[in-house]
Amino acid sequence: MQRTILAFWNQPFALSETFVYNQVARLSRYEVAILGAKLPPPPRIEPTNQPMYLINRLDAAGWWRELVFKGLGRVPNDLWQWLQRIQPSLIHAHFAPYGAIALPLARQTRLPLLVSVHGTDVSMNDAAIWRSSYMAHRFYLLRRRALAHQVSRVITQSDFLSQIVTARHGVPAEKVVCIRYGIDLSRFRPALQCSEWGHILYVGRLIERKGLPFLIEALARLRGRFPDLRLTVIGDGPMRADYEAQAHHLLGDRVTFLGAQSSAVVHSYLERAYAFCMPSITMPTGEAESLGVVFLESMAMQVPPVSFRSGGIPEVIVHGQTGFLAEERNVAELSYYLGLLLDQRNLRNSLGEQGRRWVEQEFDLVKQNQKLEDLYDEIIAERSSRYQQW
């Protein structure tokens, strides 16, 4: 009989959190039941057929149930009954604030607690967290020490995040495990015959940290040499109007903004892309790219990525072998590397081939999920004497 893992995060099936969905949907030796605060607004990923409990069902009492669960740690009676039926062996919370929110549940159920951190949930500095509009982030600061003490393991996706978790968040090094994101390589297969010369693709939220203005400026420097280059922007966010104005001023009709799109649409544009660029930067708040799943997807499609040497990105893009890295905020250098790819198709193709092999070696979803399930085995075995079975 397979054991069951209780996966907890705030809004299951959000489009921006496919990396969580990939883990939840593709485990082989463990069943997964999903606990969430509420579903995200559409568009969203199609929910799986796995057992799911939502604390806030967006009815009249939903917001109150969510507040009481998050703030006071009180577990609704029907949630208790649901947990009794599914009998989870451990709780796996995603994002540090929801690890802290899961603490009372872990204590009351006497289940081991595992927390995956994903980036800005731990890279943002404390002052910025206190200014955050998210209640969960403030709860995290209040419960951080208790979480570091009680958590069985903290999973990071990069050495960059591992150092932050130990140095700034007080988690003992022996509790920190780096298991990198994986992607489904059966879905991401190169389509070399579809590649369109000069087509640069950006996929990411339209926020300052993702660095789109640097890409727009870099391409503006190349428009004289490469009159047929064009940029496609997939993503949405609060800076969209500003970025559209800048792009149309500098690139004219060579840029297209598509807004947020499904993974299928992103895949179709990766097939056609000549190069990928998301030049993410480190923010004054400490926020930085922890890894970047979209870089993995582009390399799996043999589309070489170009970015800045920021956060955990150098652990994904091997400079000069699988893509190029410019110094952070250096538009001239970013433009140089994009121009190099446009000038030298053989170099572009060579980087693409090496990138595919790199992803197959280090970021295969099947291999990464095997590591995760091995960690589940380890935690359940070592903590069985401390946690009673249901």
Average pLDDT over residues 100-119: 94
Higher pLDDT pick, 130 / 335: 335
Report the pLDDT value the prediction gives residue 130, as an integer from 0 to 100.
85
Q: By three-state DSSP, how is residue 206 classified?
A: coil
- For the chain, give the mean pLDDT: 93
**45-102 residue pLDDT tens:** 887 789 999 999 888 888 999 999 998 889 999 999 999 999 999 999 999 999 999 9
pLDDT above 90 for 379: yes
Report the pLDDT value the prediction gives residue 390, as an integer from 0 to 100.
46
Average pLDDT over residues 12-34: 88
Residue pair 265/234 in contact by the 8 Å Cβ criterion: yes
Q: What is the DSSP letter of 117?
A: -
Domains for the chain: give ranges and CATH numbers.
3-182+364-383 (3.40.50.2000), 192-362 (3.40.50.2000)
Predicted structure pTM score: 0.90
Distances (CA, A) of 84 to 6, 38, 258: 12, 21, 45
Residue pair 335/370 in contact by the 8 Å Cβ criterion: no
